Amino acid sequence: MEASQSIVIYKPLPKAGRIKVYIPYSLKDEREKFKKLNSSFYHPQQKLWSLVNTETNWGLLLEMFGPQAIIQESKKQPKLPTKPLSDASEAVLIALEQKLILKAFSQSTVKSYCSSLRPFLLFFERRDLKELSKEDIESFVYHQISKYKISESAQNTLINAIKAYYEHVLGKERTIYEIQRPKKSMNLPNILSEEEIRGIFGSIENIKHRTVLMLIYSAGLRISEAIKLRIRDIHSDEGYIFIKGAKGKKDRKSVLSPVLLILLRKYYRAYKPSYWLFEGQEGGQYSATSIQAVFRRAVEKSNSNPWATVHTLRHSFATHLLQKGTNLRYVQTLLGHQSSKTTEIYTHVLSISNKNIKSPLDGMTEILNLVTATPNTLVDKSDINAIE
């Protein structure tokens, strides 16, 4: 058996709370056995399973997977320093935060940049930041990679935060600090099959949960875009969904599936949201963590790809459209990609032709039956137009 197809059991470090196990997606029977064990848990970010770390569980794993498993030592990763910053360094963070807010950066970007800049300020606390050279900065980035094993994503965020400080706070020219970045990896997006999509939606009984996930898939939305949808963003007459202030602060439109519209009308009748299309129990926007939890339960219940996340629905939307012959440029517009190169990653095994756009949800007759069988009488058109 190839290493990539082998089960890997990571020997836990002393005082580790759990035993981590890698089970390839192709080994479905083995994964099902593991899921039935007490305390079994899946970590989607690491793509690993785990059990509570006990001698009994360790022996159980060796007995269950011994001949086909690789035992691998776990390595303790050094943690980034967390000591307090000096007053001068704190002032730098405040200045960066203020400048980013004034430039209308998103709240998540402001938080991410300020957090990423902290180790940079600690490292150069005794140096004048204005006097640092490009080589000084690249040496620091290399130090973070070699000592703390920061990911490519964290490396890019760190570089962006440093550049933001020098360009927006100190007013340096962009060309001065062209810091070396990691070579961009070409990872193919995780995709769900149409059968898995049917299984996930079919496993959800709550109409609100089903509606929000079907909407994300049927229109190719990011989870952040779904929770920011307003009632008036559903345009049933024109057949589109309006996404305001999406990534890059750009408005766009996406397809409104007639199948989804049936479910939206039933959902609207049942929940009567007041402003946001999906609201939390106490009002306000529905939380992303709630949607993620709903999706995770549906994936487990339907025995679908355990590596899938809510964002996988967006990847699947794009891939399924291309498989049905939708023009790449249309898919690019629906996804809100600035460059066609971003969209082209979905074409790795696809033959594309130019046809009329339809949501991939519309071709699933089982889903139509699932929607029409959902409790609550279909409200008439005036009710869904109230959403507009």
Residue ending a domain, choose from 38, 73, 108: 73
129 with 105, same domain? yes
159 with 222, same domain? no
pTM of the model: 0.66
Q: Do strands 69-73 and 7-11 pair parallel, antiparallel, or not at all (unpaired)?
A: parallel
379 with 240, same domain? yes
Q: Indicate if 314 belongs to the active site.
A: yes
Of 257, 221, 253, the residue nearest 361 (C-alpha): 257
Rounded Cα–Cα distance for residues 253 and 240 (Å) = 6
Q: Identify the H or E element spanning 315.
A: helix 310-323
Position with higher pLDDT, 381 vs 136: 136
CATH number at residue 34: 3.40.1170
CATH number at residue 164: 1.10.150.130
48 with 126, same domain? no
pLDDT at 356: 47
250 with 327, same domain? yes
Q: What is the mean pLDDT of residues 259-270?
A: 96
pLDDT digits over 134-171, tens only?
889 999 999 998 888 888 888 999 999 999 999 999 99
Contact 298, 200 (CB under 8 A): yes
pLDDT at 93: 96
Residue 183 located in a structural domain: no
Q: Indicate if 315 belongs to the active site.
A: no
Residue 283 located in a structural domain: yes
pLDDT digits over 295-335, tens only?
999 998 998 887 889 999 999 999 999 988 889 899 999 99
pLDDT at 189: 75
Residue 82 located in a structural domain: no
115 with 67, same domain? no
Q: Of the listed 47, 172, 208, 311, which one is catalytic?
A: 311
Q: What is the mean pLDDT of residues 116-138?
A: 93
201 with 173, same domain? no
pLDDT at 175: 58
Coil, helix or strand at residue 191? coil
Residue ending a domain, choose from 121, 150, 177: 177
Residue 184 located in a structural domain: no
pLDDT at residue 380 is higher than 90? no
Q: Of the listed 20, 118, 222, 252, which one is catalytic?
A: 222
Q: Of the listed 208, 247, 253, 297, which one is catalytic?
A: 247
Residue 185 located in a structural domain: no
362 with 224, same domain? yes
Residue 79 located in a structural domain: no
Q: Indicate if 20 belongs to the active site.
A: no
Rounded Cα–Cα distance for residues 61 and 20 (Å) = 11
346 with 212, same domain? yes
Total count of domains within the chain: 3
Residue that the structure tokens 């459209």 belong to: 321
Coil, helix or strand at residue 70? strand
Residue ending a domain, choose from 11, 46, 73: 73
pLDDT at 351: 40
Q: Of the listed 99, 314, 315, 320, which one is catalytic?
A: 314
Average pLDDT, the chain: 85
Q: What is the mean pLDDT of residues 208-235?
A: 96
pLDDT at residue 352 is higher than 50? no
327 with 361, same domain? yes
pLDDT at residue 121 is higher than 60? yes
Contact 256, 235 (CB under 8 A): yes
Q: What is the mean pLDDT of residues 48-65?
A: 89
pLDDT at 377: 43
Q: Which domain holds residue 58?
A: 3-73
pLDDT band, residue 269 (cuts 50/70/90): very high
Q: Indicate if 222 belongs to the active site.
A: yes
Q: What is the mean pLDDT of residues 13-25?
A: 87
Residue 80 located in a structural domain: no
Burial call 223-232: b when 16+ CB within 10 Å, e when fewer? bebbbbbebe
Of 60, 63, 49, the residue nearest 21 (C-alpha): 49
pLDDT at 378: 42
34 with 103, same domain? no
